[in-house]
């Protein structure tokens, strides 16, 4: 009889332990409030946590086992103090809304099909994102990250791993030390590439780019820069741009190493300087008056098979016809296209977001746009030019 009682108590203890390790939200409330959870307890590391309500994270939380699942309609949001979430094992899945101060994913499994907001985010876990990351001040990726969703308004991002962008990304300061591949839409203010960067689609740089590694721009990809391009590797090593697509530079071009390509073209609106090697047979076009060959200052090597203004850029007389008025503008912007026909005209914010798109039209209603600097791109076939416009209120 005593043995049976002992086995019964042991079974009850196991059952109680199983119940205590599962916590499902039953109401909106704080993480540390037992009334928030089905277990009438406070979830601890190792628990299986399911969130179906609006739960306030009023304590930082780290775990090496167990799981957190935020279902659609559920939310885990930091209080005003700013709380951290560290996933160092177990699993995390978000289909709802996560908002924390600092998010670190060290080990375990991670999935996001919802919305994640964080002041800082550091990732060491391989995963595929189908949701949205947004409003992150500082982000570091140290693993393999496949983006089929969005990374929006990321102030500073450093990629030390492998990042494949098949969705939409908007960054401010962008540093690539690993391998980055863009197959869809990528916008950033400045970039420093120390690793391997491949673009097969559309990239817009609203300021400047510095390539210190390998940058591959495939056909028929577009890489548009509203300021300057610098190709230089300080110290040992090689900085190489392999361009078979189109690179359009609204300001200046500086090459101190190697730029090559067989079918691509580079268009420069202002100064061009070559101290390195321009190889193979790509097309180069500097729109400022200069002697032949069509580069302002050449102190390096240019292959005789390089062509000038054959496939890249719009002719000087057509370029001179392009006029934006009024500039600054208030309620509307007009673009005089002159002799440029069959073109697509786009208006971008200074963050690189396209706010308007027109075909063969040079008129934009800007009455609902915020004050600030905007960029107009005019694309005609493989040719593209960039203009700036200031909107004031």
- Is residue 17 pLDDT above 50, yes or no? no
Residue partners of 15: CB distance under 8 A and separation at least 6:
none
Confidence bin at 309 (pLDDT 50/70/90) = confident
The pLDDT value given to residue 320? 52
Please give the torsion angle defined by the CA atoms of residues 158, 159, 164 and 166, in that order, rounded to the nearest 10 degrees: 0
The pLDDT value given to residue 292? 60
Give one DSSP letter per residue of 317-340, joined into a string: HHHHH-EEESSSBSSEEEEE-TT-
Residue partners of 339: CB distance under 8 A and separation at least 6:
317, 318, 321
Q: What percentage of the chain reaches a pLDDT higher than 70?
A: 89
Q: Specify the range with the lowest mean pLDDT, choosing from 16-25, 45-54, 119-128, 261-270.
A: 16-25
Higher pLDDT, 15 or 314: 314
Q: Which two tokens stand for residue 379?
A: 């694309």
- Is residue 15 pLDDT above 60, yes or no? no
The pLDDT value given to residue 290? 65
- Is residue 12 pLDDT above 50, yes or no? no
The separation between CA 347 and the C-alpha centre of its own chain, rounded to angstroms, equals 19
- Is residue 243 pLDDT above 90, yes or no? yes
When pLDDT is averaged across residues 254-275 and rounded to a whole number, the result is 93
Fold of 316-391: Immunoglobulin-like (2.60.40)
Q: Specify the range with the lowest mean pLDDT, choosing from 7-16, 75-84, 303-312.
A: 7-16
Higher pLDDT, 267 or 54: 54
Yes or no: say if 180 and 165 are a contact pair by the CB < 8 Å rule: yes
Q: Which two tokens stand for residue 278?
A: 């321009």
Yes or no: say if 238 and 355 are a contact pair by the CB < 8 Å rule: no
Report the alpha-carbon distance of residue 34 to residue 38 in Å, rounded. Answer: 8
Confidence bin at 48 (pLDDT 50/70/90) = very high
- Is residue 3 pLDDT above 60, yes or no? no
Higher pLDDT, 269 or 70: 70
Q: What is the pLDDT of residues 330-349, one digit of tens each?
A: 899 988 887 777 888 888 88
Distance from the first to the final alpha carbon of the chain:
88
Higher pLDDT, 314 or 30: 30
Higher pLDDT, 294 or 7: 294
Confidence bin at 140 (pLDDT 50/70/90) = very high
3-state helix, strand, coil in the chain (%, to 5): 5, 55, 40
When pLDDT is averaged across residues 134-149 and rounded to a whole number, the result is 97
Q: Which two tokens stand for residue 122?
A: 């550091």
The separation between CA 273 and the C-alpha centre of its own chain, rounded to angstroms, equals 29
Confidence bin at 383 (pLDDT 50/70/90) = low
- Is residue 11 pLDDT above 60, yes or no? no
Q: What percentage of the chain reaches a pLDDT higher than 90?
A: 63
Q: Specify the range with the lowest mean pLDDT, choosing from 253-262, 287-296, 383-392.
A: 287-296
- Is residue 132 pLDDT above 80, yes or no? yes
When pLDDT is averaged across residues 296-303 and rounded to a whole number, the result is 94
When pLDDT is averaged across residues 213-230 and rounded to a whole number, the result is 93
Q: What is the pLDDT of residues 52-72, one digit of tens each?
A: 999 999 999 999 999 999 999
- Smallest CA-to-CA distance from 343 within 379, 311, 313, 317 is with 379
The pLDDT value given to residue 148? 97
The pLDDT value given to residue 231? 98
Tell me the three state secondary structure of residue 381: coil
Q: Taking the domains of the chain in order of start, what are their residue ranges?
A: 18-113, 316-391
Confidence bin at 5 (pLDDT 50/70/90) = very low
- Is residue 7 pLDDT above 60, yes or no? no
Does 36 sit behind a cis peptide bond, omega within 30 degrees of 0 on the bond before it? Answer: no
If 0-12 CB within 10 Å is exposed, 13-18 middle and 19+ buried, where does residue 237 land?
A: exposed
The pLDDT value given to residue 14? 37
Confidence bin at 377 (pLDDT 50/70/90) = confident
């Amino acid at each position: 009889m005593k043995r049976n009682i002992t086995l019964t108590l042991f079974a009850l203890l196991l059952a109680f332990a199983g119940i205590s390790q599962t916590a499902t939200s039953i109401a909106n409330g704080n993480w540390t409030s037992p009334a928030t959870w089905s277990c009438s307890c406070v979830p601890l590391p190792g628990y299986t946590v399911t969130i179906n309500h609006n739960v306030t994270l009023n304590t930082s939380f780290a775990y090496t086992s167990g799981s957190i699942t935020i279902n659609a309609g559920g939310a885990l949001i930091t209080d005003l103090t700013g709380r951290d979430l560290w996933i160092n094992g177990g699993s995390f899945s978000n289909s709802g809304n996560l908002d924390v101060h600092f998010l670190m994913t060290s080990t375990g499994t991670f999935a996001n099909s919802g919305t994640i907001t964080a002041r800082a985010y550091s990732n060491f876990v391989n995963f595929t994102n189908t949701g949205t990351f947004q409003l992150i001040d500082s982000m570091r990726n140290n693993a393999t990250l496949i983006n089929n969703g969005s990374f929006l308004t990321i102030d500073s991002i450093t990629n030390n791993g492998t990042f494949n962008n098949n969705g939409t990304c908007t960054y401010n300061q962008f540093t690539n030390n690993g391998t980055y591949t863009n197959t869809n839409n990528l916008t950033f203010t400045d970039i420093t590439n120390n690793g391997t960067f491949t673009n097969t689609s559309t990239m817009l740089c609203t300021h400047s780019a510095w390539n210190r590694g390998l940058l591959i721009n495939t056909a028929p990809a577009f890489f548009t820069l509203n300021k300057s391009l610098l190709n230089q590797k300080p110290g040992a090593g090689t900085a190489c741009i392999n361009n078979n697509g189109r690179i359009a530079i609204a300001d200046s071009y500086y090459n101190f190493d190697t730029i090559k390509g067989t079918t691509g073209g580079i268009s420069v609106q202002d100064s061009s300087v070559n101290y390195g090697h321009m190889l193979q047979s790509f097309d180069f076009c500097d729109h400022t008056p200069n002697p032949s060959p069509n580069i302002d200052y050449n102190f390096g090597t240019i292959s005789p098979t390089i062509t000038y203004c054959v496939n890249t850029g719009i002719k000087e007389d057509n370029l001179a016809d392009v006029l934006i008025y009024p500039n600054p503008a208030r309620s509307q912007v007009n673009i005089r296209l002159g002799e440029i026909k069959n073109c697509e005209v786009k208006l971008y914010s200074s963050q690189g977001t396209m706010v308007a798109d027109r075909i063969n039209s040079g008129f934009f209603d800007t009455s609902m746009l915020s004050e600030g600097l905007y960029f107009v791109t005019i694309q005609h076939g493989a040719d593209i030019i960039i203009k700036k416009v200031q909107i004031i209120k």
